[in-house]
Structure 1
Amino acid sequence: MLTFKRWGFDWAADWTMWLALILIPTVLTAFMNNDRLIAAGAHWLYHKRRWIRTYELESVRVASGLTANDLALGQDGREVLIRVDNLQENPALWDLVYNGIRHSVANGAKVIDDTAAKSPSARSMLNL
């Protein structure tokens, strides 16, 4: 766009333009990156510096995010918010978390579906 506006490539010699061309996408990528470390074991899940015991959950909330569904798992006043897509990318990880969620729901964890108005199939995504 600047090439047409200034009738040439003289803008390429301006260091502030290069700074903006590199800095803005780098900052946006850093803030939009949701692929932080996710780890799970037989009875726990770790994400964004938070641990939660998946077999002792008190609440399971499915919320519609901007690009995907988010899963909020609550226990003892703590909540881990994670995109379902990020969990489902690794089938073994998803199996561990899913089994813990099912066990917690069977033992009385409250299921809150914030996506019911937008998508009636959100709860079926978890098959609860």
Structure 2
Amino acid sequence: MPQAASRPDATTGSPRPPRAPVVLGAQQPGERDPARARFPPAPPGEGPVLEWFQESSSNGIKSGIFVAFLIAAFLSLKDWGFDWITTWGLWAFVLAPIPVFYLYSRSGGFSAGADWFATSRRRHVQLYELTKVTVTNPAGVDAWVLELTDRSGGFAGVKLREVQQNRALWDLVYNGIVHSVNTGTATANELALDKLQLR
């Protein structure tokens, strides 16, 4: 079982935790400009935001183009063949809006302080007071979801792939998870023990 590093100072974030193991795949660039990003501020009474992540605009558009391509391929194979390609209405009203929808429907991102993690303005957990760590795979493939619950009833759920995109943020979250599991305050399901390398 991995050992947690010392708990960082709530204000300065020092000392920073060591590198956490990355469970899923390559990093994707996130939004770089905090003025354009939408991520939750520090919860009232907590230390400052030390790390944040929001998917970049280009990644949202790429995801939308990929989904539009899958829909077009499905329609071509299912019923229509390739004759529909010359029908401009299908492009304009069915396929073209999908990348735009993905761009504007990006999640609001998430943020972390030395001892807290937030996925929205109203949802955050105390990382060193966790009582439950769960990893599920509701959609199959690599769609792993991390769910954290703390002793005051706080809850945060996020896609595991997304929370690992900012390595420094993941380090903060992972150190709190390891600390809570090692001290026995948090239980972890089998998938969490396996995927997060907590054994």
* 1:60 alignment partner in structure 2: 133
Matched, 1:110 2:187: yes
* 2:24 alignment partner in structure 1: none
Structure 1 residue 61 displacement after superposition: 0.6
- Structure 1 stretches lacking a partner, 5+ long: 116-121
Higher strand share: 1
Q: Is the alpha carbon distance of 1:19 and 1:77 closer, same or farther for their aligned partners in structure 2, counting shifts above 3 Å?
A: same
Q: Is the alpha carbon distance of 1:21 and 1:127 closer, same or farther for their aligned partners in structure 2, counting shifts above 3 Å?
A: closer
- Structure 2 stretches lacking a partner, 5+ long: 1-75
* 1:118 alignment partner in structure 2: none
Larger radius of gyration: 1
Matched, 1:80 2:156: yes
Q: Is the alpha carbon distance of 1:83 and 1:17 closer, same or farther for their aligned partners in structure 2, counting shifts above 3 Å?
A: closer
Superimposed CA distance per residue, residues 28-59 of structure 1 (whole angstroms, 9 cap, x where no aligned partner)? x269845x312111100011331111111111
> CA–CA distance in 1 between the matches of 2:169 and 2:147?
16
The 3-state SS of whatever aligns with 2:180 is: helix
Structure 1 residue 126 displacement after superposition: 1.6
Higher helix share: 1
> CA–CA distance in 2 between the matches of 1:73 and 1:3?
47
> CA–CA distance in 2 between the matches of 1:41 and 1:93?
8
* 1:89 alignment partner in structure 2: 165
For normalisation by structure 2, the TM-score amounts to: 0.48
Aligned residues: 115
Q: CA RMSD, aligned part only?
A: 3.0
Superimposed CA distance per residue, residues 48-78 of structure 1 (whole angstroms, 9 cap, x where no aligned partner)? 3311111111110111243332110012333
Q: Is the 8 A contact 2:126 2:154 kept in 1?
A: no
Q: Is the alpha carbon distance of 1:26 and 1:65 closer, same or farther for their aligned partners in structure 2, counting shifts above 3 Å?
A: farther
> CA–CA distance in 2 between the matches of 1:32 and 1:127?
32
